[in-house]
Amino acid sequence: MPLWVELVLRVGGVLVAFLTLPLLVGQAEHKIMAHMQGRLGPMYAGAFHGWAQLVADGVKFVQKEDVTPRGADRLVFRFAPVVALVPYLLVLLVIPLGPGDLVAQPLDIGLFFVLAVVGVGVVAVLMSAWASANKYSLLGGLRGAAQLLGYELPLVLAAASVAMAAGTLSLPGIVEAWQPWWLLWQAPALVIFFVAGLAEIRRPPFDMPIADSELVFGYLTEYTGLRFAFFLLAEYVGVVVIAALTTVLFLGGWQGPFADAQLGWLWTLLKVAAVSFVIIWFRVSYPRLREDQLQRLCWLVLVPASLAQLVLTAAVRIAL
């Protein structure tokens, strides 16, 4: 196969996943929340099990007027949704779906690349907050920056623990080195990574930057129409990315109960779907954390626990 054809197929596959998986997560969230909270509307749009709810939302966003505040920095204001989306697209390029060639771009330092790129999300938050010329947006952006910068540390430390255990920064290498007993001694790192990941994508209960009861809608207050839809798409892509990284780093990726490597991609997708369900479940089940509670959880619980996990991992590696 010519190199350019292979390149087009790999990039095209990532684009398809980038455009479809977040929509599936959004549709699933409508249905799961409807069942858990007794919401009737999302279950009836389009008759059978509310299949048209996502279509209705898309039509609604397209029809809304695209408004830019008079005092806004127009270039930064309009570019912020793109900055929110691009990092997740780049991350999907290096996440392996299965063994062999089922990864768009394998990197020996894939984990380092992922953690570096995910951190760019804070730039989009600050861009949208500052450029909106709105005090509620600015307050939400400052909250978001403090949250993202704080939770980046336990996220990186938890990922470093599993990288140390595997002895590599390659994501496929981590999956290949993974053993079922890691579910026990890397369980604290799994919990820390998952919680910090929720905070990084600002999902409930870590949604203080867009607390509607205090800040209207935080750094998204002035966004309408498709630009607002792009920020929502970035949130759902973030759900897919955090679920995929949790799967690859801590749940064995494509490894399943059977030795058939041909079904590896299916095990990966099933695990990603299961973790995505837990993320949605958290949104339904837990109230929003106050800002002081959110920072206390980060600095007094997650950071010390992640450091202790690193010490444990180092001790086990030396012992083995």
3-state secondary structure the chain: CCHHHHHHHHHHHHHHHHHHHHHHHHHHHHHHHHHHHCCCHHHCCCCHHHCCHHHHHHHHHHHCCCCCCCCCCHHHHHHHHHHHHHHHHHHHCCCCCCCCCCCCCCCCCHHHHHHHHHCCHHHHHHHHHHHCCCHHHHHHHHHHHHHHHHHHHHHHHHHHHHHHHHCCCCHHHHHHHCCCCHHHHCHHHHHHHHHHHHHHCCCCCCCHHHCHHHHCCHHHCCCCHHHHHHHHHHHHHHHHHHHHHHHHHHCCCCCCCCCCHHHHHHHHHHHHHHHHHHHHHHHHHCCCCCHHHHHHHHHHHHHHHHHHHHHHHHHHHHHC
Res 261: pLDDT: 63
Span of 78-82, 101-105, 238-242, 304-308 with lowest mean pLDDT: 101-105
Res 278: pLDDT: 93
Residue 1 — pLDDT band, cuts 50, 70, 90? low
pLDDT in tens, 111-160: 999 999 988 888 888 888 888 888 888 888 888 888 888 899 999 999 99
Query: Distance between CA 273 and CA 271 in Å, rounded?
Result: 5
For the whole model, what pTM was predicted? 0.91
Residue 310 — pLDDT band, cuts 50, 70, 90? very high
* Average pLDDT over the chain, rounded to an integer: 86
Res 157: pLDDT: 94
Average the pLDDT over 253-276 and give the result: 83
Q: What angle do CA 232, 136, 212 make, to 5 degrees?
A: 55
pLDDT exceeds cutoff 80 at 42: no
Res 260: pLDDT: 64
pLDDT in tens, 193-245: 999 999 998 888 888 888 777 777 778 888 888 888 888 888 899 999 999 99
Res 259: pLDDT: 60
pLDDT in tens, 43-55: 777 777 777 777 7
Residue 316 — pLDDT band, cuts 50, 70, 90? confident
Res 63: pLDDT: 80
Res 151: pLDDT: 92
pLDDT in tens, 10-22: 788 888 888 888 8
